[in-house]
Each structure stands twice: as C-alpha cells, then as structure tokens.
Chains A and B, each alone.
Chain A
C-alpha cells in the first residue's frame, strides 16, 4: 500500500535518504524511529510529493507519487506533529472544511460528528472553537479527518509528541482501530514506547538508511532501547 523503492534524496552535501525501501501493506502500522535529521520527515514529504526523490520510486496504493501527485495525495491522510486548524472554527466546522476540500464523498453533518466522537473528542467539545482545544484534542480532529476520508493510507509525523500519556494512549488506540479497518499507517516518531505499543512493525532510520526492520512482536520495550542506541550510535563496546 505504502511503498518506497530505493529512494535517494540529497540536500546539498547532505544525503537525506540513501536507498530507502519500505513496503507497508494494508492494515499495518509501521513505526519509523530515528534521531533528528535521520530522514523521517523527508520520507513523509516524499510520500506526500512535497519532496521529489533524486532516484527511486514512491507509490501509494500503486499510484506513482511523482507522476500522479494529486491522485496519490487523495489516497492519504496526513497528521503532522501539531494538527493545524482554523482557531475560529469549531472542531466540526474544521472537519467539514478539510473533508469537503479533500474531494472525498460528501458526509452528512451527523456522520462527521460521529467521526469526531469516534476519534475520541468529547461531545461538548465538538461545537467549540478549536482555539480553545488542547494539542491532544486537535490531534483527535486530525484522526477524525482520517476517519471521514476513509483513505487507505495514513502518514503521521511525531503525532504523540507533547501529548500526555492518557491522550497518547487514546491516540494509539485510535490508530489500532484504523489499522483494523485496513488502513496502512506510517508513523514517524521518537517515542520508542509508543512505537512498540502501537506498531506492527518497527524500522530504525539513520542518516537516510534503514538500519533495522523488525516485527514489534519480536522485541520488548526493554530490548528496543539498547537496539536503537546501538543502531544509531554504534556498539559502545
């Protein structure tokens, strides 16, 4: 569903991606771990068509991002580190705006309200201006946008950064539910614990190269941290 084949991207002297290959099938959550500058955001930008690879191929749902950028974007929901919304509009109005602009099938207001509720937003908050929302609540609107879109793929860039543990846990549950609906999810994050808890597979990216790719079920959190440090900084021994 989400696929990168031998993708290279150079920014001046810096190699942001060096032969990155990934294949995330439908119903799978893939956590991409890595330090700042490892290439996580460049990977997401390449998938969204904001960055054009120097070499390699990027596809979403078999649609080539380079040649059919707009069609590819319509297959994806994107949730950034901070979901940016229009503060004077309510959660429902923001969802309606983003949903209608996405070109997806029109939904009744009741259905959109249901999406916000399913994303974990309290009933009382749905009709309040999002200027009053916490970061967690805004992220839930982002999830609601994804639910309403029913897009087959989802890209998340540090989605739980700054969320309190409870909100982060709720967010993870929402992702699991979406994956259960067949959505392929790529989540770039620093949060090893959340990656291990939520994802089906985990990749470690360093200097644009995928240095580890394993099933989450094959490693526990206690082992993941030393593995991450070793892959990023090398074996101190």
Chain B
C-alpha cells in the first residue's frame, strides 16, 4: 500500500504543476527567494569587507592622532563597530534604525535615538524586502490563499464525498494534506535557509550561530506550520471556500498588520518611557548639579595634601587636573547608568508587553523571536551599547590615569604620544550567546509552541468532525 501522504503529495504536486496561476506565483516566489538569497550573500560579503576596512582605518586613525594631552585624546573619540551576525541579513530588525556603530567620546554617553524607529518597525518591514519579510509575512499569505480552499474546495467540487466514501477518514485526509503541504512549503523555504546555514557555519562563534540558526529554522517551521494547520482547519469548518478565504485573510490582516501596531500602543501605555526632550532635560539636570562632585573634589584635594604633607596642589607629584577629571567621570558614570539604564529598562519592559500579544497574534511572537535570534533587536542593541560604554570608560580611565601619573611641569601640560594610544585595546564586540539571553524571548518561544500545539489539536478535531455540509 502506498503511504497516503506520498499519494497526496504526488497529486498536489501534479495539480500545482498544471495550475497556471500557481505556477506563476510559485515562480515569482522562487525568484524572490533566490533574489533575496543572492542579494543577502552579496550584502553580507560587502558589509563584512566594508566594516573590516572601516574598523582598520578607525584604529589607524586613533594610532595616528599625533601627540597631545591624554584628555585631548579622550575627546578625539573613536567609533565602536558591531559586526552583524549571519542572521542579521535574514532579519535586520531594528538595525536599519539603530545602526551598527556608536561614537565614543570623553565625558558623554551618546543617546540612542530609537523610539520612533520601534514604532514603525512592524509596518516598515513591508518596505524592506528581507528574507524575514518574504518568509514571515508573504509566505503565510500564500499559504492562506492556497491551503484555504483545500478542504472546502473538495467539498464544493463533490470530491470530498467521494474520498470519504472510499474509506478515507477525515483525519487521514487532513493530516495527509497537512503533511503534503508542509513538504511543499519546505521546498520553498529550505533553499533560502541554506544560505543562512552556510553563513552560520562561517561565523566567528559558529556554535552560537548554528544554535541560533537551528532555533530560527525550528521556530519558522512552528510558525508556518501553525499557519498551514490553521488554514486547513478553517477550510474544514468553513461552509465555502469564499468563507474560508475571508476568515484567513482577515486573520492575516489583523495578525500581521493591525495587531503589531496596537501592541506597540498598548505596551507604551502600560510601560511609559520619557520622550527625548524630557530624558535629556533630566539627564542634563543631574549632570549640571555639581554640588556633590565639588564636595568630593574638595575632600580628595584635602586628603592628598594631607597625605603628601603639602600646602599647594601644584606641588603634588600627581596631576590634580587628572584626578578632578577622573572624579568627574566617575560621577558621570553613575548618572549615565541611572538614566540610560532606566530608559533601556523601560523599553525592554515595553518589549516584554509587546511579546505577550504574541499569544493572540503569532506573527508578533515570530517577529520577536526572529529579531532576537538574528541579534537585531533591542535586547542585543542594549548589550552592544553597554559593551561600547564599558570600552569608552576604559579609554577614559586609561587617559585619566596616565594624566594623573604625569603632572604638569611649570604649568606646561603633559603630552602623550602613540605609545599610549597603542596601549588602548581595539574594541572587539562579542555579542551574547543565545543561551545567555534566551529567557527574554521565553514568552514568544512558548507562544509559537503553544500555537503549533493548539493548531495540531484543532486540525485533529476538525478531522474527526469533518462533515459533508
């Protein structure tokens, strides 16, 4: 006896191959997938080359800055680069808005400009033709259009009656269709994902890249599988193919377009964050308030004079200007940590609320997991910003320490040279392993799993209760 799935797959393939509309659509999708895959590879190669060149020149620029005071060198500043992971080309997420570089300069942590970008993320994805857009938004639509009439169409044509009369059970029919359709979907998905498997294999941290890729593949299967099972379940229940398509297209519009927008609004309402001017005002207010800093400087100066038994600060064997700078920086670190930490905590709280809506709209869960695995979401951006800030502080502290060790002589400032600049290690960003951050996406991962399980049960129930009318 030939397995039922193989029989159905063969028949579906034959029908699909002879359906002119489907041929055109699949050909377009295949071209789209190949085009996106090829451009992704090209993009990955050119990005990697451009960033390596920029990073090399940046280090060169830092080393060649000439002789100057360490303080001036700290103001000279340097860029920190975030090399995109292999899956960043699959789902650029917030990268186009947040960027992959940050400017590190003395005394100041640069403010991220991303709230408006976050707001527009779900809509703007239509504008970017990325693999995530093709597989996350367009493929479910194609699945709905072609799987929606799968059972209702059989009912309308009268073939359902004949199939059931042949001794095929409703469950066998639905599971057979589901398996055959899943294999068809895999044929479309696997070539594109193969590109990312190759990129992951070549990644610096291949173990983490492959774990992320494997999870991405699994979650994509769960998401697309849920959409396929939903389409077949609706098709089994619907009175007509028109009804089935209406329900499914409505679900797609609500789930992929309306729900993300509403979820963002809701998240911002339940976990509000300050707007740009308010944030800057509060930050500047704390930075400008020098009362505690001046007292600390006075205490330190007095302690140093007592320690060395001197009367004048100019006679100290260390640079008092360097010490003042270090104290000012340390006070600034606490203020930046408080304000930026609070701001990021607020945005991440909004993101958690946003992800909760994934239980109602699986596209939201998928997009959160996709950007998280790609390392292009807020959580990973914060990790990069924190790493860059730690590096900025390290440069700042090194410069201050060198200043402190080399006091002014007769009022002339100490001048450092390339020997000091070379001691500053190059910034090499290492993104977190997914195992370190996965709990942030736990809700969305379980939402996708929950949807898949719920749809499996729904399809099974629909199969048991499949009726002719």
Write the residues of chain A forming the contact surface with B, with a CB cutoff of 8 angstroms. 48, 50, 70, 73-74, 76, 78, 80, 82-86, 88-89, 93, 97-98, 100-106, 129, 145, 149, 155
Contact = CB atoms under 8 A, between A and B. Distances in A.
Given A48-B165, A89-B15, A129-B18, A97 B7 contact: yes
A56 to B, nearest CB: 21
Nearest to B16: A88
Contacts of B169: 70
Contacts, number: 73
B14 A101 contact: no
A100 B5 CA distance: 10
A84 B153 CA distance: 12
Contact of B167 (A84, A103, A155): A103
B424 to A, nearest CB: 70
Q: Which 10 A-B pairs have the closest CB atoms?
A: A84-B158, A78-B165, A74-B167, A73-B167, A88-B18, A100-B7, A102-B166, A100-B2, A84-B159, A97-B11
A89 B8 CA distance: 13
Interface string B141-182: 000000000000000011101111111110000000000000
A85 B159 contact: yes
A15 to B, nearest CB: 20
Given A84-B159, A86-B11, A105-B1, 16 more contacts: A50-B164, A50-B165, A73-B164, A73-B166, A78-B165, A80-B161, A89-B14, A89-B15, A97-B11, A98-B162, A98-B163, A100-B4, A101-B8, A101-B163, A102-B168, A106-B2
Contacts of A145: 166
Contacts of B7: 97, 100-101
User: Which of A70, A80, A97, A105 is most buried by chain B, counting CB atoms within 10 A of its CB?
Assistant: A97
A101 B14 CA distance: 16
Chain B contact-residue range equals 20 to 34
Contacts of A106: 1-2
Contacts of A129: 18
User: Which of A70, A82, A88, A105 is most buried by chain B, counting CB atoms within 10 A of its CB?
Assistant: A88
Nearest to A93: B14
A86 B164 CA distance: 15
Contact of B14 (A78, A88, A155): A88
Contacts of A80: 158, 161-162
Contacts of B14: 88-89, 93
A70 B163 CA distance: 12
Interface of B: 1-2, 4, 7-8, 10-11, 14-15, 18-19, 157-159, 161-169, 468
Contacts of A93: 11, 14
Contacts of A74: 167
User: Which of B2, B163, B166, B169 is most buried by chain A, counting CB atoms within 10 A of its CB?
Assistant: B166
Contacts of A73: 164-167
B22 to A, nearest CB: 10
Contacts of B158: 80, 82, 84
A53 to B, nearest CB: 17
A36 B261 CA distance: 56
Nearest to B161: A80
Nearest to A78: B165
B150 to A, nearest CB: 13
Nearest to A85: B159
Contact of B162 (A78, A103, A105, A149): A78
22 contacts: A48-B164, A50-B161, A70-B167, A80-B158, A80-B161, A80-B162, A84-B158, A84-B161, A84-B162, A85-B159, A86-B11, A88-B15, A88-B18, A98-B162, A100-B4, A101-B4, A101-B168, A103-B1, A105-B1, A106-B1, A106-B2, A155-B165
A86 B167 contact: no
B243 to A, nearest CB: 20
A89 B12 CA distance: 10
Contacts of B164: 48, 50, 73
A105 B1 CA distance: 6
Nearest to B156: A84
B162 A83 contact: yes
A98 B8 CA distance: 10
